[in-house]
Amino acid sequence: MKKILVFFVLMIFVLSFAGCGEKKEQLATEPVNLTISAAASLQDAMAELKPIYEIQHQDVTLTYNLAASGVLQKQIEEGAPSDLFISAGKSQMDALSQKGLIIDASRKDLLGNELVLIAGKDSNLTGFDGLTDASVKKISIGTPETVPAGKYAKEVLTNLRLWEQLQSRMVPAKDVRQVLTYVETGNVDAGLVYRTDAITSSNIKIIAAAPAGSSEPIVYPMAVVNGAAQQKEAEAFAAFLTSDEAVKVFEKYGFKVNE
């Protein structure tokens, strides 16, 4: 009788252990939705990276929230769901850091970029000085208060002593891609965008690059959001963005990869 009792106890123990293992395995493969808040200028590169990562991690689905960095910063401050933030400017990341809204240890400068002056393909514009010509009636930049590219553009024009003269011609845009669209459609005569945005369009031409030192270095920092629902997965995706595979994609779209 004792032998039978011991046998049943062992069987229950074995089955319970197996059940726990099965539950752990189920939890490990449970689908994960990872929310990435990223600067609008990253949209093409991030779109190409999405299927690459999802094939390698079939339990992960990437959801991108693409907008001006200042808009994304405000959303995170207001509690919008986000696991990883990639900004096109340091100030937005600094603001979140000061409020304890990012994990500082996860912060890394991921990419660099360059600001360029663009115009329509038929434009006679030859450089920044030409922006004061009467033929240039409208110039678009991102809203400096919320769009890093707009902040850099204002710095460049200020350092070139053009900002005061050109303010009445400025057409602010919600993000750098809207600036590109305004120039493509002829709604403005010129605009300042990142080089990575300019090279995506066949309907504009690059007139000139911003002179060296005319603005702060253009840096894209990334960090895991504090309290992220998927912190470990966000850290894994951030690590992927620094991999050789991801670097090739970023370089394809004209980004400078920080070592």
pLDDT tens digits, 139-166:
999 999 999 999 999 999 999 999 999 9
Q: Are 32 and 108 in contact (CB under 8 A)?
A: no
CA distances from 105 to 20, 99, 215, 226, 240 (A): 34, 15, 27, 11, 17
pLDDT value of position 258 = 78
For residues 204-228, average pLDDT: 96
Instruction: Encode pLDDT of 10-33 as tens digits.
Output: 444 444 544 544 444 434 467 899
pLDDT value of position 10 = 47
CA 35/CA 227 separation, integer angstroms? 13
Topology at the third CATH level for domain 115-209: D-Maltodextrin-Binding Protein; domain 2 (3.40.190)
pLDDT value of position 237 = 98
Whether 92 shows a pLDDT value over 90: the answer reads yes
pLDDT value of position 78 = 97
**Residues carrying CATH 3.40.190.10, the chain:** 31-112+218-257, 115-209
Pairing of strands 170-173, 139-142: parallel
Helix (H, G, I), strand (E, B), or coil: what is residue 14?
Answer: helix
Does 3.30.750.24 match the CATH number of domain 31-112+218-257?
no
CA distances from 169 to 62, 126, 133, 139, 147 (A): 40, 18, 11, 6, 18
